Structure 1
């Protein structure tokens, strides 16, 4: 039972993540991706890379973005991952 719940949770997370990948058409020149979208796209970049192998329109990086702030958020997320920017470790 516990194994089925974990598998269902993983499948649900994958479905939720796939709804907001870069290149899916949700951002345009009139409504570009900003800082927080950059952070999110940086966090899911490995998943976007794998999905992009099978779907041509999915990219790792959103082309329609605000510029420097999107780049800053994206690279901050790539470098930090989930907690890599922590200055003090025990």
Structure 2
């Protein structure tokens, strides 16, 4: 690996780390209770994300992410929902490609 590429990689990783340090969720966004969205609602919201995002451009009452939610489990479900809908590792695999 060249020195320039190494410097670019380190600078990019540093920038990502710096920006991610600013990300946090307010305490009011995480709640407990039977009616608070958890993993399964996060999974569903991840599946419908593309359509919810398009709808949110035209209607301010449509949200792509539930607040308040149960925190980590909701986030995990949301991530899995987006990943599965987006194809996950299927599109990155070499199976089915003709080289």
- Please give the range of the TM-score, normalised by the shorter of the 2 chains: 0.5 to 0.7
Q: Are positions 1:59 and 2:63 aligned together?
A: yes
Where structure 2 has 5 or more consecutive residues not aligned to the other structure, the ranges are 1-30
Report deviation, 1:29: 6.7
Q: Counterpart in 1 of 2:75?
A: 71
Residue deviations 1:23-81 (CA, integer Å, cap 9, x gap): xxxxx875210101000000000000011111112111111211100000000111121
RMSD: 2.5
Moved over 4 A (4+): none
TM-score normalised according to structure 1 size: 0.57
Count of residue pairs the alignment pairs up: 63
